[in-house]
C-alpha cells in the first residue's frame, strides 16, 4: 500500500484516497488489471453503459430524479453516455450501408419539400439529429419543466433520453438491416424509428412527471410531444437544406 495517493498525491491511510477516491492498491499497469477494468466498465451495476441504458429504458424517471438530485457517481455521466451511443450508432449505420449497398427509397412530399434534402437527410441524418437536441431541451424546459427545473437540467434530461433513442436506432439497424436485410434507407424504416423514439419520449415524460405536481400536465404533455415532433422535423429539414446548399457551394 502507498502512503500517498498515486492519482492526486493526498496522504492515504485507508484502502481508498479520502480526496479523490482512487484505490490505494493501484500498482504498475498489468494485463490482469486491464482486463478486469475493461469488463468492470462494461458490466458493473448501474454505472456501466449497459446498466445506465437499462435503467433509462425501464424507469427513466428514477435515474433522472436521482442524477438531478446529486447522485452523480451512481450512473454513467450524460456526456460520455451520449457520445458513446452516438458514435456507435453512426458506426453501425455506416457498416450496414457499406455491407448491404442499400439505396434510398423516398416518398416525396411526406415530410421534406425538396427531394434532394430528403436524400441528404437519409444518409447524414444520424449526426444532423445531434444538433436538434438543444432545441428539444428548450421546448421541454419552456412547456413542461419550468420553473421547477433549469435549462441545463433539461439539457441533461434530453441528453440521456436522446442517447436511448440512439440505442433503439442501433437495434433497428442490427435487427432490421443486419438480421432481416430490411432496407435501412427506406422511408418506412425511418418512420418506424420516429414512432419508436416518440413512444420512448412519451414514456420518459410520463415516468418523470408521474409523482410531481405539474398544473395542466394532461394538456402540456401532448402539447410538448406534438410541438417537439413538428419543430424537430422542421429543424432537420432546415439542416438538410443547408447541407444540400453547402454541397452545391463546395462540390
Is there a contact between 187 and 107 (Cβ–Cβ < 8 Å)?
A: yes
Q: What is the DSSP string of 97-148?
A: HHHH----B--TTSS-S-HHHHHHHHHHHHHHGGGGHHHHHHHIIIIIITTT
Three-class DSSP category at 17: coil
Among the candidate windows 18-26, 153-161, 168-176, 185-193, which touches Zn ion by CB under 5 A? 18-26
Which CB atom, from 8 or from 230, has the smaller least distance to Zn ion? 8
- The answer to whether 127 and 90 are in contact (CB under 8 A) is yes
Task: Determine whether 58 is exposed, middle or buried from the number of CB atoms within 10 Å of its CB (0-12, 13-18, 19+).
Answer: exposed
CB 140 within 8 A of CB 161: no
Provide, rounded to whole angstroms, the least separation between the CB of residue 40 and Zn ion.
19
Complex with Zn ion: residue 17 or 161, whichever CB lies closer: 17
Contact between 17 and Zn ion by CB under 5 A: the answer reads yes
Taking the least distance from each CB to Zn ion, the nearer of 19 and 242 is 19
Please identify, among the stretches 10-18, 30-38, 39-47, 146-154, the one whose residues bind Zn ion according to the rule CB under 5 A. 10-18
Residues near 227 by beta carbon (within 8 Å), at least 6 away in sequence: 139, 143
Q: Which residues of 4-35 are buried (b: 16+ CB within 10 A; e: fewer)?
A: ebeeeeeebeeeebeeeeeebeeeeeeeeeee
> What's the min distance (Å) between Cβ of 78 and Zn ion?
25
Does 2 bind Zn ion (CB under 5 A)? Our answer is no
Binding residues for Zn ion, total number by CB under 5 A = 8
Does 6 interact with Zn ion (rule: CB under 5 A)? no
Query: At its nearest, how many Å lie between Zn ion and the CB of residue 46?
Result: 24
Any contact of residue 242 with Zn ion (CB under 5 A)?
no
Is the Cβ of residue 19 or residue 150 nearer to Zn ion in the bound state?
A: 19
Residue 25 or 247 with smaller CB distance to Zn ion:
25
In the bound state with Zn ion, the residue whose beta carbon lies nearer, of 26 and 90, is 26
Residues of span 19-48 touching Zn ion by CB under 5 A: 19-20, 22
Binding site for Zn ion (CB under 5 A): 5, 7-8, 10, 17, 19-20, 22
Amino acid at each position: 500500500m502507498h502512503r500517498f495517493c498515486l492519482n492526486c498525491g493526498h496522504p492515504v491511510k485507508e484502502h481508498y484516497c479520502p480526496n479523490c477516491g482512487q484505490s490505494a492498491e493501484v500498482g504498475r499497469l498489468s494485463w490482469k488489471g486491464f482486463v478486469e477494468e475493461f469488463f468492470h466498465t462494461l458490466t458493473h451495476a448501474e454505472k456501466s453503459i449497459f446498466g445506465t441504458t437499462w435503467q433509462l429504458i425501464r424507469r427513466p424517471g428514477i435515474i433522472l430524479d436521482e442524477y438531478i438530485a446529486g447522485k452523480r457517481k451512481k450512473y454513467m455521466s450524460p456526456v460520455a453516455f451520449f457520445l458513446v451511443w452516438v458514435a456507435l450508432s453512426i458506426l453501425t449505420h455506416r457498416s450496414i450501408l457499406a455491407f448491404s449497398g442499400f439505396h434510398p427509397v423516398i416518398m416525396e412530399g411526406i415530410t421534406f419539400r425538396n427531394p434532394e434534402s430528403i436524400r441528404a437527410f437519409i444518409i447524414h441524418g444520424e449526426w444532423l439529429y445531434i444538433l436538434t437536441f438543444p432545441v428539444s431541451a428548450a421546448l421541454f424546459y419552456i412547456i413542461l419543466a419550468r420553473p421547477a427545473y433549469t435549462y441545463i437540467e433539461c439539457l441533461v434530461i434530453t441528453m440521456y433520453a436522446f442517447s436511448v433513442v440512439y440505442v433503439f436506432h442501433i437495434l433497428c439497424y442490427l435487427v432490421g438491416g443486419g438480421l432481416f436485410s430490411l432496407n435501412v434507407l427506406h422511408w418506412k424504416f425511418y418512420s418506424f424509428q420516429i414512432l419508436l423514439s416518440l413512444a420512448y419520449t412519451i414514456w420518459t415524460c410520463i415516468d418523470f412527471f408521474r409523482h410531481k405536481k405539474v398544473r395542466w400536465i394532461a394538456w402540456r404533455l401532448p402539447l410538448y410531444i406534438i410541438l417537439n415532433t413538428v419543430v424537430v422535423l422542421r429543424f432537420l429539414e432546415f439542416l438538410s437544406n443547408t447541407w444540400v446548399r453547402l454541397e452545391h457551394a463546395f462540390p
